[in-house]
Structure 1
Amino acid sequence: MARELEREPIRHGGDLDEARRLFPQAPEPWIDLSTGINPIPYPWPALDASAFTRLPARTDLASLEAAAAQAYGARPAHVAAAPGTQALIDLIPRLRPPGRVAVVGPTYAEHAASWARAGHSVATVPDLTAEADIGVVVNPNNPDGRVMPARDLAAAAARLAERGGWLVVDEAFADLEPVESLCGTPPPGCLVLRSFGKTYGLAGLRLGFAVAGEPLIGTVRRAIGPWAVSGPAIAVGRRALADAAWRREAAEARGRDAARLDGLLKSAGGRIVGGTTLFRTADFADGPSLFTHLGRAGIFVRRFEAAPARLRLGLPPDEAAWTRLAASLRMR
């Protein structure tokens, strides 16, 4: 399994180079609905030149981590900032010797691939009952939005910790959801990941966070090293994370958008199988041909080789994009 995961290429959302290769005659501009990123970004502030011209001070990073702790209901000492959640997904498997890893899936493929690249034996499992040294859960899950109760995750973390194991909980899509997070009191051996770019629509900033108790968070922080997060990311991140009102309004507005998207997909014959506030996942009798139809119309959505009927769509960014999507779905 590990060798297969190391060799197998992973298809990601947001790859407009692939979209243009697949559909070279599609009209521009593309409407990229293949990601789960908030299409209405946080209004980034004008930045002082010093954010670009000097190395961030320790106090700068500490203020960012304090803002993240406040947003996630965590203690500042339990939060470590990194240049994106993906960087943490790649880093964490290298912090312990090879062992048995159980990834609850299907889910975001980079988790299994990263553990495999680091030499671990990886299995995709339906729940956390499998014997393993490491458990990995995406909560809410991508792409079906499945949510595991915090009490079940805490119990799994306790079982793993008894034998020196870890539980990694990826809460990348938790910010705008009514999900009980483990950030407040992470159980021993539990490492929680939080994404900044998805919630705030600023994926290019490359900012993410790990949340864990000691000694695990200290291990992660030392492995990240100094100056890993850029000055601009610190400046924008700490302002956005402190803006609780914006986050509440975004959750309400994107929730209305998700309901609107459900209506469009159902009217096009889709069966909604799950999702989050930032994306919806549906099965279609003609999933592959619908993917092609939308691509030729300049609308890129997420497909799944293991489930050809299934498509995942992010939220359109504006009324023009909503109109194009609705028209394309009607014309199929």
Structure 2
Amino acid sequence: MLEHGGRLLRAAHEYGIPAEQWLDLSTGVSPYAWPVPPLPVSAWQRLPEDDDGLIDIARTYYGHPSLLPVAGSQSAIQALPSLRERSRVGVLDPGYAEHAHAWQRAGHKVERAAADALFARAVRYDVVVLIHPNNPGGERFELDTLLALHATLARRGGWLVVDEAFIDATPERSLCAAHALPGLIVLRSVGKFFGLAGARAGFVCAEPALLVALRERLGPWSLSGPARHVLKLALADTAWQSAQRERLHATAARLSKLLTHHGLAPDAGCAFFHWRRDDRAAALQRALARQGVLVRRFEQPHSLRFGLPGDDAAFARLDAALAGWRSIDRKQEVAP
């Protein structure tokens, strides 16, 4: 399997620091979680039922009439390639690596490329996969540009797959507003914005016929009863959602300022994380880890992704850890 953030227990073992003593900034999950209330016993005792009201609440939240609950967008990422015959697939790079991995494993011809190249060469692809905003590169696209790309693909029976796992802080930029266009598939994640990654919950927004095929592939009960119960409440809590968006944007701006202060001005990012290209990425990740701060490192290109610190104490700890690294880095620069 591919590497991802969130491997806290492995880091704790490697560096000899108990897991509870770490500041984990290795994922893009919001540090501010929707407050889950006590769950009714029936949520655990009964099999999940499709007509429990979740779909109606989700339609209102996402603004899309046709959607399918799934066990995190990852399950859809792995299943979608099996719904097409061999295709030429263009995937945004750098980006969430599971997309290219899934299409390759299913036998499709995959080309990784930057966004400009994907748009310019759209006629050569049967499927284009974008992450919006991109993870980790932070690229954002205008809705008209995305719809034009979709039209180019759909004329030949192609697909535009858009992973919107990090769009919830800026919902006005979502393609869900385009509704159920043939060949347009939008993936949404609950875990990032609501801080509920452990629920493993998400939605696929697409035309009904494709959702029927995807549901057949995934099988019944893709979401647990407890997850469905929590989602109904969280997706309907508009006051919390509004406050969450303001909080995420403010925290992301504060993180950008802190990184810039330490000579690590972000190259990109969004309301959930910031991304820094740097040839010193491996050394910096290790230096932070030795101080109990976990960040996500990428090899191509050499870079780091910083998730959001959740409070003043977390910001102070990251500040101190970066200051310690800068001191070591300066000494190495002047060493004979």
TM-score (norm 1): 0.92
Give the secondary structure class of the aligned counterpart of 1:281. strand
Structure 2: which amino acid aligns with 1:86?
Answer: Q
- Match for residue 21 of structure 2? 29
TM-score (norm 2): 0.91
CA distance in 2, matches of 1:116, 1:43: 39
Pick from 272, 277, 280: which aligns with 1:278?
Answer: 272
Pick from 145, 157, 181: which aligns with 1:164?
Answer: 157
Cα pair distance change 1:59/1:27, threshold 3 Å = closer
- Match for residue 312 of structure 2? 319
User: 1:23 Cα deviation (Å)?
Assistant: 2.3
Runs of 4+ in 1 over 4 A off after TM superposition: 25-28
- Match for residue 328 of structure 2? none
CA distance in 2, matches of 1:27, 1:212: 40
> Which segments of 5 or more consecutive residues in structure 1 lack a partner in the other structure?
1-8
1:121 aligns with 2:85: no
User: 1:294 Cα deviation (Å)?
Assistant: 0.4
Paired residues of 1:103 and 1:137 also in contact (CA < 8 A): yes
Pick from 72, 80, 85: which aligns with 2:68?
Answer: 80
More helix per residue = 2
Paired residues of 2:129 and 2:162 also in contact (CA < 8 A): yes
Paired residues of 2:94 and 2:300 also in contact (CA < 8 A): no
- Match for residue 187 of structure 1? 181
After TM superposition, the structure 1 stretch with the greater mean CA deviation from structure 2, 216-225 or 267-276, is 216-225
1:45 aligns with 2:33: no
- Match for residue 226 of structure 1? 220
Q: CA offsets, 1:118-159, max 9 Å, x none?
A: 111111022233311111000110002111111111111111
After TM superposition, the structure 1 stretch with the greater mean CA deviation from structure 2, 287-296 or 111-120, is 287-296
CA distance in 1, matches of 2:14, 2:160: 38
Pick from 199, 215, 233: which aligns with 2:193?
Answer: 199
Structure 2: which amino acid aligns with 1:250?
Answer: Q
CA distance in 1, matches of 2:132, 2:14: 32
> Which segments of 5 or more consecutive residues in structure 2 lack a partner in the other structure?
326-336
- Match for residue 3 of structure 1? none
Structure 2: which amino acid aligns with 1:255?
Answer: H
CA distance in 2, matches of 1:25, 1:15: 13
CA distance in 2, matches of 1:70, 1:133: 31
Q: How many residues align?
A: 319
Give the secondary structure class of the aligned counterpart of 1:215. helix
Cα pair distance change 1:46/1:28, threshold 3 Å = closer
After TM superposition, the structure 1 stretch with the greater mean CA deviation from structure 2, 178-187 or 134-143, is 178-187
Q: CA offsets, 1:258-294, max 9 Å, x none?
A: 1111111001101211111011112346332211110
Pick from 233, 256, 264: which aligns with 1:262?
Answer: 256
After superposition, residues 79-118 of structure 1 pair within 5 angstroms as: 79-118=67-106
Q: CA offsets, 1:12-45, max 9 Å, x none?
A: 0101133235423578511110100011100012
User: 1:59 Cα deviation (Å)?
Assistant: 1.2
Give the secondary structure class of the aligned counterpart of 1:10. coil
Indicate the RMSD between aligned Cα atoms, in angstroms: 1.6
Paired residues of 2:180 and 2:208 also in contact (CA < 8 A): no
User: 1:317 Cα deviation (Å)?
Assistant: 2.2
User: 1:225 Cα deviation (Å)?
Assistant: 2.5
CA distance in 2, matches of 1:314, 1:84: 20
1:295 aligns with 2:280: no
